[in-house]
């Protein structure tokens, strides 16, 4: 890996676990802590190599017999709104983006708890208490913002924990009011992050992983200008799929 900080960090590999995305698959990750002298540089460098951040850990899948999980990002100057995305923006036109420090409030936790209990009841986050949730949001050594989405009455409807990288914005974790299904708030927040990235004159929106064969991740392929990190380089999703990567 190129351009790593001079205090080269030590990488580790996790034990093998059940894959959360694909049935009958095993998952293993390579990871590194953000304890270097320059955590922002490390986060920037490794994000370009397909790593993702979780608190003060950067990780990437390194499974022995599967490469379905590919880091994904949208190239903002290649993105074009589809008809359905234009309708979605109009539907959520009254929502306001508010950028705050990554500090948790009771309203954040209530919305998060409602979201995971509805959308990810079987996941490990469903029993997360307030302190654990606070650590997930606030325990960051890098340039991080909490982006709120509120309606015209200032009611909190969505939140995204977002890292500001030197070439883009990285959507670390997002959650929203699960009752507003027709508003497709998850998709809307991605659309808004594309606008936010352009406002900052940045090139990319990092989305996490696109997993071939996982219904949970197929929505990401609906965004034009999508690239995936495959065979140690960023490729358009169409090109990567054609080459069966």
Instruction: Write the pLDDT tens digit of every residue in 213-225.
Output: 877 788 888 999 9
Range name among 24-38, 137-151, 199-213 with the lowest pLDDT average:
24-38
What integer pLDDT is reported at residue 5 of this predicted model? Answer: 52
- pTM of the model as a whole: 0.91
3-state secondary structure of 228: strand
Instruction: Give pLDDT tens digits for 131-166.
Output: 999 999 999 999 999 999 999 999 999 999 999 999
Domains of the chain, earliest start first:
12-69 (no CATH), 72-105+140-242 (3.40.630.30)
CA 151/CA 40 separation, integer angstroms: 33
DSSP for 36-71 reads: SS-HHHHHHHHHTTT-EEETTEEEEE--SS---EEE
Interval 70-103: pLDDT, tens: 999 999 999 999 999 999 999 999 999 999 999 9
Residue 9 in this model has a pLDDT that exceeds 90: no
* pLDDT for 130: 94
Q: 1-10, 21-30, 56-65 — which is least confidently predicted?
A: 1-10
Q: Which long-range contacts (CB under 8 A, 24 or more apart) does 149-154 make?
A: 149/95, 149/96, 149/97, 149/98, 149/176, 149/185, 149/188, 149/189, 149/192, 150/95, 150/96, 150/98, 151/94, 151/95, 151/96, 152/94, 152/96
Candidate from 5-9, 96-100, 178-182 with smallest mean pLDDT:
5-9
Query: Looking at the chain, which runs of residues are DSSP E strands?
Result: 12-13, 17-18, 26-27, 29-33, 52-54, 57-61, 69-75, 96-100, 144-150, 156-164, 168-176, 204-211, 226-230, 233-236
pLDDT at 124 over 80: no
Tell me the C-alpha to C-alpha distance, in Å, between residue 148 and each of 83, 100, 145, 189.
Answer: 25, 8, 10, 10
Count of CA atoms in the C-beta half-sphere (13 A) of 138: 11
Q: Quick one: how far is CA 237 from the chain centroid? A: 17
59 neighbors 52 (Cβ within 8 angstroms): yes
Contact yes or no for 60/49 (Cβ under 8 A) = yes
């Amino acid at each position: 890996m190129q351009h790593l900080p001079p205090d080269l960090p030590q990488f580790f590999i996790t034990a093998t676990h059940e894959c959360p995305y694909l049935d009958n698959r095993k998952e293993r990750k390579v990871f590194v802590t953000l304890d270097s002298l320059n955590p922002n540089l490390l986060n920037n460098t490794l994000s370009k190599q397909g790593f993702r951040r979780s608190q003060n850990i950067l990780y990437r899948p390194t499974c022995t017999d599967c490469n379905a999980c590919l880091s994904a990002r949208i190239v903002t100057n290649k993105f074009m709104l589809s008809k359905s995305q234009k309708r979605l923006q109009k539907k959520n036109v009254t929502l306001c983006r508010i950028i705050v420090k990554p500090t948790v409030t009771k309203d954040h936790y209530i919305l998060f708890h409602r979201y995971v209990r509805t959308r990810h009841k079987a996941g490990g986050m469903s029993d997360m208490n307030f302190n654990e949730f606070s650590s997930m949001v606030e325990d960051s050594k890098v340039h991080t913002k909490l982006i709120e989405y509120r309606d015209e009455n200032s009611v909190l409807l969505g939140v995204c924990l977002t890292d500001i990288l030197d070439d883009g914005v990285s959507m670390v974790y997002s959650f929203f009011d699960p009752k507003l299904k027709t508003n497709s708030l998850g998709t809307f927040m991605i659309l808004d992050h594309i606008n936010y990235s352009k406002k900052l004159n940045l090139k990319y929106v990092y989305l996490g992983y696109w997993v071939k064969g996982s219904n949970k991740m197929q929505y990401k392929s609906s965004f034009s200008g999508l690239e995936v990190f495959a065979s140690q380089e960023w490729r358009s999703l169409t090109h990567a799929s054609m080459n069966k990567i």
